[in-house]
């Protein structure tokens, strides 16, 4: 039994001995940065001001709170200036450093709803109301790559 244990330790040591130089000699000039979530939004003709008012109010309030808490590192709105058929009017971009685990997610939800003075039911009702003039065409989850420091 001891021989098997020593053999396993020796094998692990050899693996680490060969892996360490590989890690130290990493050729990649970049490393993983923030996650970037992009929501693609289309609004009906004539509803742009209504949607922008929503973004400037409730959406911004929530995003600013999330940023102040350190949950997100930034957010922005991009407008599709030369929209082709089937493309979104707006891209809502949110950057965040990591995903929350289940316990952290619950704490965040509680803090968010308290800050927004709202409930899940009220948020869902607001989303249903906006669906009369706004549609989410999809979303993407991307990962930024940042330059390594020399």
Residue 25's pLDDT band (cuts 50, 70, 90):
confident
Assigned domain for 16 exists: no
109/21: higher pLDDT: 109
CATH number of the domain at 90, please: 3.30.70.100
Q: Is the pTM of this model over 0.75?
A: yes
- Note down the domain range covering 35: 30-147
Q: How many structural domains comprise the chain?
A: 1
Assigned domain for 4 exists: no
Given this model, what pLDDT does residue 13 score? Answer: 54
Given this model, what pLDDT does residue 6 score? Answer: 45
Assigned domain for 124 exists: yes
Long-range contact list for 144-150, CB < 8 A, 24+ apart? 144/32, 144/33, 144/34, 144/35, 144/36, 144/95, 145/30, 145/31, 145/32, 145/33, 146/30, 146/31, 146/32, 146/33, 147/29, 147/30, 148/28, 148/29, 148/30, 148/31
């Amino acid at each position: 039994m001891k021989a098997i244990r020593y053999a396993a330790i020796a094998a692990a040591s050899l693996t680490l001995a060969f892996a360490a130089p590989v890690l130290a000699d990493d050729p990649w000039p970049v490393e993983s940065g923030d996650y970037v979530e992009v929501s693609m939004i289309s609004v009906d003709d004539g509803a742009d001001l209504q949607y922008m008012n929503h973004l400037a109010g409730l959406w911004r309030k929530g995003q600013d709170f999330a940023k102040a808490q350190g949950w997100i590192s930034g957010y922005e709105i991009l407008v599709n200036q030369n929209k082709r058929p089937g493309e979104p009017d707006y891209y809502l971009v949110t950057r965040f450093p990591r995903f929350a685990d289940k316990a952290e997610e619950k704490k965040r939800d509680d803090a968010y709803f308290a800050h927004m003075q709202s409930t899940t039911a009220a948020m869902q009702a607001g989303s249903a109301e906006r669906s009369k003039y706004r549609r989410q065409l999809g979303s993407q989850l991307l990962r930024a790559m940042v330059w390594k420091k020399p």
